[in-house]
Structure 1
Amino acid sequence: MVRWQKVFDNNERLFWTLHTAGWTGFALVYYIESLLHDMRSIWFLIIIMNAYAGWLLTIPLRYVFRWSKRQSAVKMLVSVAVAIYIVASLWALIKNVNYWEIYKHGYRPDEWYMYFSNTINSLIMIVCWGGLYFGIKNFQMLQKEKQNALKASTMAHQAHIKMLRYQLNPHFLFNTLNAISTLILMQDNKTAEGMVTRLSNFLRYSLDNDPIKKVPLAQEIQALRLYLEIEKVRFDDRLSVAWEIEPRCERALVPSMILQPLIENAIKYAISKLSKDGKITITARIFGSDLLIDVADNGPGAEIKNGKLTREHGVGLPNIRERLQSLYGKNFSFVIANNQPNGLRVSLRIPYELKEVEHDE
C-alpha cells in the first residue's frame, strides 16, 4: 500500500506507470481479440510492435499538452488537435507498414480505403489517450485544491482552538496577581513567594502544552493541583478539594486545560460566596468507551435554563463547549445540573482515548 502511495504522490512516476500500463493493456486486449480469428503466431509480434510504436509516439504529446495548458484557449485547442492528428497519422503509417509489409509480405489491397482504416482507428486511440491524460491531470488538480482547502481549514480550526484556550489564562492570572499583591501588602512575603513559584509552574504547563494536542488526565490533574494550591492560599480553610479518580483514568487523554475554567467558575461563584466549608469534588471514571468527568461544588447554586446557566456571560463555559465541539464533533456531552443537596455539578463525557495502546497481560 505504501509503495503504491509513493507512485501516486510522484507525478513523473505516475505518468510512466499509467502510460506503460495503458499500452500494455492495449496489446493484451488486441491479442485476445485476435485469438477469436485464429491469427498466425507472427501476429503477436505485430501487436507488440504496434503497441511499442504507440507507447513511443505518445510520449511527446505529454510535453505538447503541458506547454499548451499555459497558452490561450484557442491556441491550446489548435495545438492539441494538430499534435494528436500528427501522432495518429505517424502511428497509422507504422501500423500499415507492419501489417502490409511484414504480416502480408508486401500484399497490396485493391480497395484504396483499406490504407486509411488504420488512420481512423489510430486517431480514435490517440484522442482517448489525450482525453485520459487531461482527465487525470484535472482530477489531480481538483484533489490538490481539496487538499489545500482542507489544510487551510485545519489551520484555521487549530488557530480557533488555540484562541479559545489562551483566552482563559488572563482571568486566572488577574485573580492570582491580585492575591499576591495583597500578600505583599500584608508583608507575608514567604507565602507570596510560594504563590509566585506555583504560578510560574502552572503558566509554564499552560503555555508548553499545545491546545490542539491532548494530554493524559494525570498530567492535567497535576496542573490543577498547582492551581488549587494557589487558590487555597486565597481562601484558606474555606476551600477543600476531594479527588475521586479511578486509577485507569489517569492515562486517558483529555484536552489540555479543559478543567481549570470549571474549577475557576466553582471558586468564583460557589466557594467565594461561602463563609466556611466550601468543597469542590472532582471525579473521573470510565463507562463503556467514554471518559466521564464531574466537577461539583456545594455553593449556593444558580438558575439553569435550557441546560445553561442564566449567569453564563463569560468566556469560560462557552469556550469549553466550543473546544469540545471542535475536537470531538458530536461525540461529547457537556451538562450543567444542580448538585445534591446544594451547589452545581458540571459533567463532561468524551471518548476514552489512550496515549499508548494497552497490552493484555
Structure 2
Amino acid sequence: MNWKALIENRNRFFWLLQTAGWFGFALVQFLGSLLHDLRDIFVIVVFLNSYAGWMLTVPLRYVYRRAWNLAPIKMVTVIIIASYITAVIWQVIKNINYWEIYKHGWKPEFWLYYTQSSVWSFYIILSWSGLYFGIKYYQMLQKEKQNVLQANTLAHQAQLKMLRYQLNPHFLFNTLNAISTLILVKENTTANGMVTKLSEFLRYSLDKDPMKRVTLTSEIHALELYLEIEKVRFEERLQVKFDIGKDCENALVPSMILQPLAENAIKYAIAVKEEGGTITISVNRFGNDLLVELADDGPGAEIKNGNLYRESGVGLANTRERLTALYKENFSLVVSKNKPSGVKVNIRIPYELGS
C-alpha cells in the first residue's frame, strides 16, 4: 500500500481515520465492559453505539466544510451547536440500544431520560470535531509548505539555468569574427573546422541539464573544444596543459564549470601579453574531496580575501553562485596569486563518482 498517496488523498484519508477512530472507540468500550464484568450481549450494544457514532459524524464533515471559511466566532458557534445536536441524537440512540438490548426492553417513565448522559457524548463528539479541524489545518499547512518548497525548487532551478546559460557574448562575437576573417582570406578548411568545433561546443552547452552534473571527462572535452576555438584566434600565443588524476576521470562536476574560468584567464592573462601565455588545469582527489585548479601565468590581478577586483566580468561570480546553489556550504572557491606570476583559482567540491 502506498501510504503517501493514501495520506495525500484527503477523501480516502478521512474514511480511514473515521473507521479507525470509531473502531478504537468500540475497542475501548469493550475493554471497559470486561472490567465491569458486563454480560456478553453488551458487545452488541458496543457495536451498535460505535456504528451510530460513525454514521452521525459523517454529516458533520459536510457541515464543517461549509463552516470552514466563516469568521472564527461563527465557525466556533457552528461547531458547538452541531456537536451538541449530534451528541444528543447519539445519546438517545445509545440509551435505546442499552435499554432495549441489555435491559430487555426497559423504558423510562419520562421521555427526557432518553437524553441523559448527553454531556459525555457531547465531549466525545466535540473531541471528534477538534481532531477533524486539527487534521484539516495540519493538511493545509503541509500543503502550503509543499507549495513553498515547490516554488523554491522552481526558483532554484531557474536560477541555475540562468547562471548556466550566461555565456559571455564576446566569446561568440570574437569567434564569429574570426570565422569571417578566415573565410575572407580563403582559409576555408580552418574556418570549417572552427564552425564544427563551435557547433559542438554550443550543442554541449545547451544539451546538458544545468540541474545535473557531468563526469570530469565530459567537462574536459567541452573545455578542450572551447580552447581549440580560442587557439584559432591566438595560435601559438595560447598554450594549455592538463594534469588530471586517473581516479578523477569519472568524478562528477557541474557542467560548464571550467569554461568561465578559462575565459577569464584568456581575457585577462593571454590576450594582454604580446607573447601570450599558458593555462594549466589540474584535477586531483584528496580524501572525500575533488580539488580543481585553473592557473595562468599572466600579469596577475588585485586579490583580496580570495576574490578578484576587476571592473568587469561575471565568470567568478557566476561560478561561485552555481557552486552555492548546488553544494550549499560544502565547497570552497579561492582565488590567489600564481607563482612566479599570474592568477590561480582553486575549487573544492565533494568527490562523487558518476555511473
TM range (shorter): over 0.9
| 1:216 alignment partner AA | T
Check conservation: 2:88, 2:115, Cα contact below 8 A.
Answer: no
Offset, 1:105: 2.1
Q: Which residue of 2 aligns with 1:230?
A: 229
Offset, 1:136: 0.8
Check conservation: 2:30, 2:43, Cα contact below 8 A.
Answer: yes
Check conservation: 2:92, 2:115, Cα contact below 8 A.
Answer: no
CA distances 1:151-174 after superposition (whole Å, capped 9, x unpaired): 112111211222122222423212
SS across alignment from 2:182: helix
**18-27 or 238-247: bigger deviation:** 238-247
Q: Mind listing any 5+ residue stretches in structure 1 that lack a counterpart? A: 357-361
User: Aligned equivalents of 2:161 and 2:288: distance in 1?
Assistant: 27
Query: Alignment identity in percent?
Result: 61
Q: Which residue of 2 aligns with 1:62?
A: 61
CA distances 1:330-350 after superposition (whole Å, capped 9, x unpaired): 111001111222221111111
Q: Which residue of 1 aligns with 2:204?
A: 205
Q: Which residue of 1 aligns with 2:337?
A: 338
SS across alignment from 1:300: coil
Offset, 1:74: 6.3
| 1:273 alignment partner AA | V
| 2:8 alignment partner AA | D
Offset, 1:225: 1.0
SS across alignment from 1:355: coil
The alignment status of 1:313 with 2:312, answered yes or no, reads yes
**112-121 or 306-315: bigger deviation:** 112-121
Summarize the alignment of residues 179-328 of structure 1 with structure 2, pairs less than 5 Å apart.
Answer: 179-276=178-275, 278-311=277-310, 313-328=312-327
Summarize the alignment of residues 83-102 of structure 1 with structure 2, pairs less than 5 Å apart.
Answer: 83-102=82-101
| 2:102 alignment partner AA | Y
Q: Which residue of 1 aligns with 2:44?
A: 45
User: Aligned equivalents of 1:309 and 1:70: distance in 2?
Assistant: 56
Q: Mind listing any 5+ residue stretches in structure 2 that lack a counterpart? A: none
Check conservation: 2:252, 2:352, Cα contact below 8 A.
Answer: yes
User: Aligned equivalents of 2:120 and 2:225: distance in 1?
Assistant: 80
**316-325 or 337-346: bigger deviation:** 337-346
Offset, 1:307: 1.1
Offset, 1:315: 1.1
Check conservation: 2:96, 2:114, Cα contact below 8 A.
Answer: no
Q: TM-score, normalised by structure 2?
A: 0.92
Offset, 1:77: 4.6
User: Aligned equivalents of 2:199 and 2:325: distance in 1?
Assistant: 29
Q: Which residue of 2 aligns with 1:359?
A: none
SS across alignment from 1:87: helix
Offset, 1:110: 8.3
CA distances 1:44-95 after superposition (whole Å, capped 9, x unpaired): 2221221111111111111222233255666645544443233212211111
Offset, 1:111: 10
Q: TM-score, normalised by structure 1?
A: 0.91
User: Aligned equivalents of 1:254 and 1:292: distance in 2?
Assistant: 11
User: Aligned equivalents of 1:355 and 1:44: distance in 2?
Assistant: 63
CA distances 1:92-151 after superposition (whole Å, capped 9, x unpaired): 111101112211223457899865443111111111111111111111111111111111
